[in-house]
Structure 1
């Protein structure tokens, strides 16, 4: 079943304080309900939740019965619910409820590239992020899929992987193009450690890829030493096109600075998946931050 996930879309206004909150849920087989809350202070309209049933196109190729939402992204005037192993559900949340034209589709399904569809999800715990895939959107609207594939078995081997990215070049036709100039295998990735500044980095499979909001060729990864009981994490920034390791940094646990954590605090330990690029803070005024 489709995970019930909520997204937020900031869409400006004169003071940059308008936003929409959306909740998408599957009710039965191939039945989608969208719950919306618009915050439009300049209109004087009170905030109230509205419920809509979305019409699903007969040519929808995404299987909603097995859908699992990994992330919700803002794209233009739409919110996009993404399943890293199926595709994307793009909903024009600002147009829902407005009669635009009889043939206007508020919901648009996008399938992943064929190669990405061949792999199955390895981590099935609800609420846990997938460590090997990422869909991101840059400031300029470029949409990319990043996959870290295991070339052979076992799938968690650290010395046998390939990083491949695709760009969504036509959102209406669901057309992806593989970025052949940015493909990188394990030998090439570990070869980036050659300089003295990066020689201490662990030779482990890169996980939790995050694309830069500015440069779609730049991706951040986490290198997590699994044999380390403290789960030591390195953050590395790689330009996949020029094949350059731009920066690296050791993640310092808060408890390491304040002493040994209690058992209760250990439950909230960092596991490497809370780095989420966002422009949300740009909608907050300086006065709002200080209040």
Structure 2
């Protein structure tokens, strides 16, 4: 296992960016809580429970991890979420029962969002001290209770956008305000604030806006069933991505006149998907910000056997396609066949497994990271690999990550058990370069 075993910064260069594992490692026992004090911060939930978080950083493609100690928190699973990241900020969510004495599935739950932040000047020589700030909750009036209740958001449908000292947290849904009009609209919830703000003074409030959906692809897409896979911050906009359909691009989030534009993916991706994409495209596609934030690019892996899951059919392979979707000086596109890779790498160097959950480097559009999944046993085995798309060569070596049943007696046990039903993209984040750790 090579899963962030040593904190970054203890030697060598600090990663310019990291791949955050979405799975949060809950460790309430002080003996099992892994901590790098340089990345640690403490907070208090809305129901008064204290907690501590610490990031264990690693150079991609090794995933970085978030460890959480929350002794007073609910013991149920999936009550903590790594929601979003942008620039020097990370957005976390902790869910608590409003009445801790009623932890039933029907108990009211408070969704506490926290901004984890560090100093915004990476040129500073002083080491930055991370901190957590709780944001005001989003509530709506409930006629049954006669009072406001929490407005729940799907965790991976929440976006974070940072601009200097300002930031915005936003959630988007698609639907009808008036079904009789048959006109779909975007329902956009936004909270705007500043890093040095204070949610206790009452000035920060969530607001909701209803926006028409623009774009030439709107009438040809079933947007009523738009389901967010992830939210990508790009320049002054947030991109809500449905890997089945396309992207809802919302710009001017900080202003008073946001616009929502839908762009579909290339029609059936016919240039490299002869019969259209597979039924689980979110496992094989990603929309990525690269080249230091200047370029938005689409990365896709097409299985030739057209299966969604499982080992590839013998004598088949896959095609990797990367396309820049914004005009930049280096607007490159790459096509890499499995045979291109296998012809120059032995099975020992590069296992003959399909590549999943693709992610481009935040710095280099030609460098891509992938998950290799070995469908063996009850849990399977995960490893990660980095490919230079321009040379069609492996960079470094394959990085083991989770070894299935072999890891059930290790610190990886809860991750191994969760992974078969937790196929989520890694979250790219560049906050480490603002920490000013040892370089």
In the TM superposition, residue 281 of structure 1 has moved relative to its aligned partner by 4.8
Deviations 1:87-112 (A, max 9, x none): 211112434425xxxxxx61222222
Report the Cα distance in structure 2 between the residues aligned to 1:145 and 1:265, rounded to whole angstroms: 28
231 and 42 in structure 1: CA distance in 2 versus 1, 3 angstrom threshold? closer
Question: Counterpart of 1:145 in 2: which secondary structure?
Answer: strand
Q: Which of 236, 257, 263 is the matching residue for 1:77?
A: 236
Q: Which of 172, 186, 203 is the matching residue for 1:24?
A: 172
70 and 50 in structure 1: CA distance in 2 versus 1, 3 angstrom threshold? same
Aligned to 1:101: none
Q: Which runs of 5 or more structure 1 residues have no equivalent in the other structure? A: 99-104, 124-128, 172-176, 287-291
What is the root-mean-square deviation of aligned Cα atoms in Å? 3.4
* Preserved CA contact (<8 Å) 2:380 2:403: no
TM-score (norm 2): 0.51
Report the Cα distance in structure 1 between the residues aligned to 2:304 and 2:404, rounded to whole angstroms: 36
Aligned to 1:276: 427
Aligned to 1:174: none
* Preserved CA contact (<8 Å) 1:224 1:231: yes
Deviations 1:27-74 (A, max 9, x none): 325121111101125678821001111122374524311322111000
74 and 284 in structure 1: CA distance in 2 versus 1, 3 angstrom threshold? farther
Report the Cα distance in structure 2 between the residues aligned to 1:193 and 1:206, rounded to whole angstroms: 15
Q: How does 1:111-260 map to 2 (within 5 A)?
A: 111-116=264-269, 119-123=276-280, 130-138=282-290, 139-154=292-307, 157=312, 159-170=316-327, 179=333, 182-194=334-346, 199-247=348-396, 248-252=398-402, 259=409
Q: How does 1:76-95 map to 2 (within 5 A)?
A: 76-95=235-254
227 and 51 in structure 1: CA distance in 2 versus 1, 3 angstrom threshold? same
* Preserved CA contact (<8 Å) 1:222 1:236: yes
Report the Cα distance in structure 2 between the residues aligned to 1:51 and 1:144, rounded to whole angstroms: 30
In the TM superposition, residue 12 of structure 1 has moved relative to its aligned partner by 1.6
Q: How does 1:23-62 map to 2 (within 5 A)?
A: 23-28=171-176, 30-40=184-194, 46-57=203-214, 59-61=216-218, 62=221
In the TM superposition, residue 227 of structure 1 has moved relative to its aligned partner by 2.5
Determine which structure has greater relative contact order: mean sequence separation of CA pairs < 8 Å that are 6+ residues apart, divided by chain length: 2
Report the Cα distance in structure 1 between the residues aligned to 2:161 and 2:412, rounded to whole angstroms: 38
Report the Cα distance in structure 2 between the residues aligned to 1:89 and 1:249, rounded to whole angstroms: 34
Q: Which runs of 5 or more structure 2 residues have no equivalent in the other structure? A: 1-152, 177-182
The number of residue pairs the alignment matches comes to 259
* Preserved CA contact (<8 Å) 1:222 1:272: no
TM-score (norm 1): 0.75
